[in-house]
Structure 1
């Protein structure tokens, strides 16, 4: 789960419509500049002076995998509290100052990263960058906002104890990655969240928010020289090096098993997952195509055809690749009627096996290539999306020219490639969790 909080009102008239939906160049014609600040901080910039706004996305490697042992939820709470007061301003004063300038700021934690977003009119860039500097360098973590955030987290966690999606997800991660940080939920547990202290938040921020694990993407009406100065202003006082604990590389365990949890809900929730392919692996692009054919292609996928179109067992069924820092995963899920859960799981297993054994057809390969190439520009239709993509390219270490090379990489994939990679990706088996009015209850406990 990812926590996000917007500092200023989302609907601020001066910025809302223009910033979130600003027209931007297509990816193929977008020029990316590598900017190095006087202090040595790097950012990737797409300059767009025709629209008077700036969107910044940034990432610190670390995330929930750096939470203190037996205390999940620290990174989540820290991210939520960063803009709840900084410097000499308490939470109300900080939020009021941001709102006066229509500055939007948010932070969120995932398993491997702390991410942040800053959005503002270019005429307010000085104020926006200063507020971000304060949030990152001088967060207050005052008692009132911390306790408010804690209460919100606990309320959400209590709701999750009756949510089939959350029960299944937590059971899957706990079973697949025992004794590993990935076994623990990003947003903590009902036991851990009450124990998190201000000292935990301060220690986490000091260890993770550093310059050497920072990636920055910027889009908008700002030149390279001005951005360089702002990078040093915002990030220059952070520690030079993060103090990150090593996270062991792992493969998901218990593949081939099915875990069932009885829960009296209208729909039975099915989740599944197994080993995937790392993002930097040469086989990732063929694997992406294979997954598109299996369950990532929405209305054109095999799972959609077999589970929904032919049999009407579910409204949606999907699969996706999830390359994490310490594990590469192949994941998916669906929801169905309790009396059809067994049939649905069987069909998913059947289609995974059939694709692994026989591979895609040439027609499926060509249609998947066309869709993947044609839909990619949708990832770049707003400034915020481009900024996020700039950061992701850096996190994945794909190179500043990846946008230009991507279509050729897809074109180069052959039928033999996808057949070989289908065997590699799908032959390892998957772990299923089934939560609802199942035919056979599991003895496994669930909840926070």
Structure 2
């Protein structure tokens, strides 16, 4: 086992808070402390980032397998999502009831979540139970049962959820937007699947997904809590050592979302409409990403301090909510916004949004907006590290995005370094106000192309 450390102290009290990650610890109790991220390599060659804290007898582990829903087999949309719902439904010699009883007895938490690009795992345990918990999680990943009775019960739950989603305007707008933006690319397919695809998935399909994706070569791990580097090395082999050495991932093509203008209306009998708008974005490894991140805070990521909230809601009272986000997926980044408003105000709201995006592209924000954005983004960064679980999650995504073990110390400086020239350059590059892809769900008054509810996609 090898251990490599990155010892650092940040600015603005950040590291004091980072050191107080364990549940129940407070920033004040950690003033002057330093946080140490250790890179641990197990005897079997499995790597993980570790932050030790022995304040509380708790261990939080976050891990990810590259793949996610983009590895769903053709015609098996929702395959990864189905797997996540079945991971505590029995493994090895334990059926669903026995497995779940064992979970309760150990007072542990085990969760899986399917993203577009990664399959995420979450383990939380008392340190005194770690060996038994790790054995149970190992069994779930390496020898899942996927019994027919459990599969049919979970299938019914997923189908009920999909039926509910059919009547949720925001979900419908999002799914329609993905279809328009990504077409036949895996990102254009619903992560949760469809009624038809979920109905067709078999136990063999679930085993096939686990066999192809759950492997050590595409594994990323972060650990925070009451465990030493010397203990973690063997524990990593205990958890993941039974998995195949190499995955069998299907290559995912680069997605190239087209520019609009494209507008699709899906009629739903609801009192207010939801609209999703956006177009291609900026990749996470692009030199302009941090500037784009600051710009998005100014546009719609800053809540009530954002430009869109000010212009659409505060000044004109047109919308209940309006916001924007950057989604730097591994194979195709997008800039996406959302607005919810009464049916009579959809067109006017979208016009104001387009006008503001155009104004930002042409003129950039004010100095006050830029200063306020950088001040908030740097000051609030420490809030992402309030507990062992949140620190483990942050460290995991830093690894997934390959930002480096010292990223936490550099991040605020990167934000501070963004200049008005950077923002204006990126605004011209990113924002195409007259070329938005827009989906509207509701009964908007303005005439537009209408797609009946329940249309394919």
TM-score scaled by length of structure 1: 0.93
Q: Is the CA contact 1:59–1:216 (under 8 Å) kept in the aligned structure 2? A: yes
Q: Deviations over 1:236-288 (max 9, x none)?
A: 11111110011110121252222112211011001112111111111010000
Task: Give the structure 1 partner of residue 10 of structure 2.
Answer: none
Task: Give the structure 2 partner of residue 302 of structure 1.
Answer: 307
Q: Shift of the alpha carbon at 1:21?
A: 4.3
Q: Shift of the alpha carbon at 1:446?
A: 4.2
Q: Deviations over 1:115-168 (max 9, x none)?
A: 010001111111111111111111110111111111011111112222211221
Which structure shows the higher strand fraction?
2
Tell me, what secondary structure is at the counterpart of 2:80?
helix
Tell me, what secondary structure is at the counterpart of 2:351?
helix
Q: Is the CA contact 1:72–1:192 (under 8 Å) kept in the aligned structure 2? A: yes
Q: Deviations over 1:364-404 (max 9, x none)?
A: 11111100000111111011111111110000000000000
Cα distance change of structure 1 residues 185 and 417 upon mapping to structure 2, 3 Å threshold: same
Q: Deviations over 1:29-80 (max 9, x none)?
A: 4221101111110000111111110000100010111101021011111111
Q: Shift of the alpha carbon at 1:441?
A: 4.8
1:444 aligns with 2:451: yes
Task: Give the structure 2 partner of residue 121 of structure 1.
Answer: 126
Task: Give the structure 2 partner of residue 189 of structure 1.
Answer: 194
Distance 1:254 1:161 in 2: 27
Task: Give the structure 2 partner of residue 81 of structure 1.
Answer: 86
Query: Which blocks of at least 5 consecutive residues in structure 1 are unaligned?
Result: 1-17
TM-score scaled by length of structure 2: 0.91
Distance 2:22 2:158 in 1: 28
Task: Give the structure 2 partner of residue 433 of structure 1.
Answer: 439
Q: Shift of the alpha carbon at 1:20?
A: 8.7
Task: Give the structure 2 partner of residue 355 of structure 1.
Answer: 360
Q: Is the CA contact 2:21–2:391 (under 8 Å) kept in the aligned structure 1? A: no
Task: Give the structure 1 partner of residue 274 of structure 2.
Answer: 269
Q: Shift of the alpha carbon at 1:442?
A: 2.9
Query: Which blocks of at least 5 consecutive residues in structure 2 are unaligned?
Result: 1-19
Q: Deviations over 1:8-44 (max 9, x none)?
A: xxxxxxxxxx999443768994221101111110000
Q: Shift of the alpha carbon at 1:443?
A: 3.6
CA RMSD of aligned residues (A): 1.7
Distance 2:283 2:76 in 1: 28
How many aligned positions are there? 431
